[in-house]
Every structure is written in C-alpha cells, then in structure tokens.
Structure 1
C-alpha cells in the first residue's frame, strides 16, 4: 500500500525538540485557499527506511538546512532513503514572498562563514557523487549570496574532489557581477528556475522578472559554453499550454540544456491555489515536445522536482551531449 503523506508535517517539528514556530506569519493577511485533494496519480511513500534517519542525522549534526524539508518536497522519503539531499545555504529565511513557496519569509540573519565547511563535511560523510546546492533569496546582501555559493563549491571540491556540484541559484536581481562569481567557481550544472510562465509572475513570483531570468541563463553560456544549464517550471498555476511551449522556446533561445516540469502542489491554504492537476499523459506530451525543441534532457512528471534524481540526470546530460557531438 502506498501512503499519501503531508510533507509539511515533516518540517514543522524541529528535530532538536525545540518549540515549533509558525512557518508563515507574513502570510496571515492572505485569503484562505482550500487545499484540493490530490488525484490518484500523485502518491509518495511515507519515509520508513533507516537510511532516511541516517541522512537526517547527518543534516542535523552539521546544523544544515535542506530545501527538501523547507520546501516540503514530496520526494523527501525516497531521496533521503538513497542518501540524496539538496542543501539550502544562506539560512532558512527568504527576503521574498513568492505565492507558491513554503520557505519562510522575513529578514535573514547574518551569513554563517563556517557553513561551507559543514556542507563539505556532510557531502563527504554521505559519500555523495553529485550534490545540489541551493539557497533562499538574499536581496539584503550586496552580491545576493554569490560569494557564499562560490565558497561552498570550493569547500566541496577540496573535501570531495570527485563529487560533481549542481547549483540552483536565485536570480541575483540588481546584483552586478554576482552571476560571474558563481560561474567562475565552476559548478558542473548551473540551474535557475523560471518557476512559471511570464503571465503569472505578478501573482506567483512578484519579486522576480521573467526576462531577467532568461538573460541570466543565457549569460552563463556566454561566460562558459561548456557548463550545463538547467531550468524548471511548475504547472497547475493557471498557465495555458501555448504559454508553456513559448517558455520552452525562450529557454532554448538561451541555449538551456535541461528542462524540468512538475505539478504545483499547494503547501498551505495561505499559498496560491492549485488551478488544475495536469495528467501524466499531458506531462508525457510536454516531454516529447521539449525534446523535439532541442533540450538535451527533459524530466516531466507530476512529482518531478528540480533536484529529484539530479545525479542520474547529470549522467544522462553528459551522455546526451557526447552523442550530439558525434553526429
């Protein structure tokens, strides 16, 4: 039997026994949007593996934050049971309040200078072949946190030279030179998610700018044409099919290699409502079209998330590029 779990429950209770604090006091003024019942095809297993607990212990002992927990990812049970985790640096509080996101909003604390060492130690302890490093938005910092990203990449390289590194960055809006700092640290994959189609930015991602994000991904390729680039979106936010297809074209115009498409799942009643559940057949159609448009790798399914199966996907990317070059 497969159990549908509420992933928000996994993150509300602190592991150290401290009193739980409200996750989204800043959303108290928002109207309630009833959380819809999920369809039969969206199912995840409750985490029961002892390896899941081992992964949690490594995260806790190194005082780290994971996007798996903070964003309420439905795949946390499967990933942590395989010792896969995506580390979220620069704290657990974001300077933006996107309507889809389950990460806390507010004024972040100071940057922890010891965090790169702790992340690198956790990567080594878990024996990761591939690691994903992401962060909250840090609009309060002059470089948006870019220097910290670079420090984490360098620390992982020093501690685990064979581990490949994927970064999932903010947009570094109005932070001149920030992108270059991250690219110069040479991650293996540079990921920046568009999240949704441009017509939905005002209500879904109001602090961001669609074409700035496209330009950021294009700029990565201009600096280092060999670096893999990646972006992802959620569907079910009220977008039209033709808007998704146009977004694919925009990403290909920026020479993006890898596209992920997943179903938006509403974290709480204070978040943007689900406007529709996309069927597995529709996801398959999106995948087929995206490959036809020239992406080297496409992952499209109801439970696809940006960091899900990232290690295996990176190997697929390398194979796809090699095959393309031999044609």
Structure 2
C-alpha cells in the first residue's frame, strides 16, 4: 500500500467554490447550436494540440466553436490558460499562471500560416503577475505573424493592462489592424460581474489607442442578460462613441456553471435587432448584435465590412 496521497485535480474556479448556486436556465430555441462534428473541426483541434496552443473557443466554452472551427477560424489565447482575474461571468481558469512560453509567438504564427488565415484574432488571459501585463508578448506574437504571413490582418483582444504604465503603447506600436478590449457590461454591474476591472479605465484604454494611432480600428463588446437596463446599454454606446470606438458587439450572456453570475434573462432576437439599429444611429461603423454574437465570431468577414464602411465614410 502506497503512502503517497492521490494527486487532486486543480479546481478550475477555486474562488467560486463557496459561492451560492445559481440554477442554470433552459435555453430558448433561438440560442441552441449544433454539436461540432465536422472533419475540419477535428483537424483544427488537432493542430492546436500539436502546436501546444490554447484557444479561447475552448476555454471560454464558446457556443460558436463548431461553426468557427469547421471554417478553420480559431481565436488563439496566448500567455497560458490560467487567468489572474476572477470575473464572475468567465469560464477561463483562475489561479497562478505558468511562465510565458518563449516559443508561443512562433507556434501561433505557424498555426496561422498552416490554416491559411486571412484574418486572425489573438486574445489572452489577464496577466497581472507580469510587470507589463504581457504587452511585450502580444507585440512579439504580432511580429511573428507579420513575418510568417504578411498579408494576414491581425485583430487583438487584450486585457485592460490596469496599473501597467507604458504597456498599451507597446502593443499599439506593434500595429495590429484591430484593437479590441471588451467593456463587457454596464458600470453598475462591474462590482459583481468584473470586480477586478474599472469601467472608465477600460473606456479610456480604447480612447487612448485612437489618440496614439488614429488609423487603428477599435472595437469593444457587451454581454446582455446580466441584469442591465436598456437605457444603461444605450449610455454605454454613447460612452463608446465619445471614445471614438468603431465597432461594437452585443451578445447574450450564457452562464457557464451554477457558481457563475446568475443569468437574469434571455434577451430576444428582436431586442438585439433594436440595439443594432440604435448603435448604427449613434455612428458606429460596424455593429454585430445577436444572441450568439461573440467578440471574434465572423471576425474576418466583419473586418472586411468595417474597412469598407470607413472607406465609404471617408469618401463622403
């Protein structure tokens, strides 16, 4: 008989273990998706494993993974799979991250080239443990993709780099085509939904991107169904336009587990369509608003529309 204690599996969300249960509501018909079964889906999954890459598609349990991977679209999540934040809505693991992988920029670029991507989305966990929040690593990934596939357009979805002076400037200097940072929800819900972040800091981050590089596209997203009011969503739209944000995404919050933030309600497709009309009326160049909208869903097609919309606006 061995005296060695069995290795206990790492708890994915240790900070949520003692929180009260929030029952998961049954999804309405308009938000159900088919299980991923295509050959290309499995090929994409195998490529990610072979190159030791993490995708937000898997870590965040995205409902669109079957559709996107079948088209060889994958949002790569750099700097590991363990986040230093503990947002109440997010399914990404929380804990102490591992050291950065120095080969990751090369492996990401190799995956982009192998998949023949015309547009790629790169996101990351929060790395509050790093002096620059991972800004230099973002820049190295962008550079590696540029060297491997110069014609690929690059969209990044970054953390907020809270209290990381100079980090934003490093990332913007690397010249991504789209700089995305999600506000996620309305200000009143930040303490319960996104307690480690600050609404006006995130808004200012995106405004600062435009000040540094006016030609860079900026993008941000909201989840709805968390308990926000319609007028609060419209106010966030106005705040985004003051910050000169080009592209807004609005999607339904889906509760990952009973320990996550409770789902308040399922927003109807008609309400999403109304949000889309209102956002365009407020001056956004591009709007994606639907129950299954996610930050990187249809990112390539949306980027082409975004660029065309700006060209049209400038030609007037």
The one of 106, 112, 116 equivalent to 2:105 is 116
- 1:44-63 to 2 correspondences below 5 Å: 44-63=33-52
Alpha-carbon shift at residue 26 of structure 1 (Å): 2.9
The one of 158, 170, 177 equivalent to 2:159 is 170
Question: What's the secondary structure of 1:234's corresponding residue?
Answer: strand
Question: Partners in 1 of 2:11 and 2:82 — Cα distance?
Answer: 13
Q: What CA deviation, in whole Å up to 9, does each residue of 1:177-201 have, x standing for no partner?
A: 0000000000000000000000000
Unaligned runs of 5+ in 1: 1-18
- 1:1-327 to 2 correspondences below 5 Å: 21-327=10-316
Question: Partners in 1 of 2:205 and 2:157 — Cα distance?
Answer: 12
Question: Partners in 2 of 1:43 and 1:113 — Cα distance?
Answer: 39
Question: What's the secondary structure of 1:41's corresponding residue?
Answer: helix
Question: What's the secondary structure of 1:30's corresponding residue?
Answer: coil
Q: What CA deviation, in whole Å up to 9, does each residue of 1:251-298 have, x standing for no partner?
A: 000000000000000000000010011000000000000000000000
Please give the TM-score of this superposition, normalised by the length of structure 1. 0.93
Question: What's the secondary structure of 1:289's corresponding residue?
Answer: helix
Aligned-pair Cα RMSD in Å = 0.9
State the aligned residue count. 309
Question: Partners in 2 of 1:264 and 1:138 — Cα distance?
Answer: 24
Q: What CA deviation, in whole Å up to 9, does each residue of 1:188-225 have, x standing for no partner?
A: 00000000000000000000000000100000000000
Alpha-carbon shift at residue 45 of structure 1 (Å): 1.2
User: Compared with structure 1, are the counterparts of its residues 84 and 20 closer, same or farther at alpha carbon in structure 2 (3 Å cutoff)?
Assistant: farther
Question: Partners in 2 of 1:112 and 1:58 — Cα distance?
Answer: 17
Structure 1 runs of 4+ aligned residues shifted over 6 Å read none
